[in-house]
Amino acid sequence: MYCRKCGKSNEESARFCAGCGHALGQPGTQAPAGGGGGGGGVAIVVVVLAVVFGGIALVSILAAIAIPAYQDYTVRAQVSEAVVVGGIAKVPVEEFWYRHQRIPHSLEEAGVSPVPTASVRSVEIDPDSGIVVVTMAAGPVEGDSLLLVPELQEDGAIAWTCMSADIDDRHLPAQCK
């Protein structure tokens, strides 16, 4: 007698299969057509492979979206840091202007020396225009400049405008667009 589950041949009087322990039916029971039930394992392998490859595809799609978004976020953070570092020079330059009625020749003359950071290579002032130039140090904006442009108002106050011809608008903070 053949086991319906595994197809193993057993003695005619056996009640359970010697190969898999499955309960055997009536004496004279034959194995199913096709040689027995070994096909269930193949189906499981196919399902596991489909799940694995589907998971890999899903992770790939998520990475294709997340990596560029993270890179944009990183550049925006670097540019925001540059605005803060450059902004350190604004008050000393204003005070120098009010005391001497001229633009300082350097930031050091105005009494400030901004410290370069991982994102900012240098901060300098143009002695002719008073524009504070912040040069970027890293990433896709390396070597690009952020400008803090002073404008003398009618009431004698100095208003600052942030801008850049080098850095893409999507990376600039709202006050620099």
Length of the chain: 177
Strand order in the sheet with 132-136: 120-125, 132-136, 145-152, 158-163
pLDDT at 38: 53
Q: Taking the complete model, does pTM exceed 0.85, yes or no?
A: no
Q: How far apart are the first and last CA of the chain?
A: 85
Q: Do 103 and 93 touch, CB atoms closer than 8 A?
A: yes
Q: Report the chain (177 residues): mean pLDDT per 10 consecutive residues.
A: 84 86 66 53 88 92 88 93 93 94 94 90 95 93 95 93 93 91
Helix (H) / strand (E) containing 146: strand 145-152
Distance of alpha carbon 114 from alpha carbon 43, whole angstroms: 67
pLDDT at 78: 94
User: All domains of the chain, ordered by start, with CATH?
Assistant: 1-38 (no CATH), 54-176 (3.30.700.10)
Measure the CA angle with vertex 105, ends 158 and 177; round to 5°.
45
Q: Which two tokens stand for residue 49?
A: 């492979």
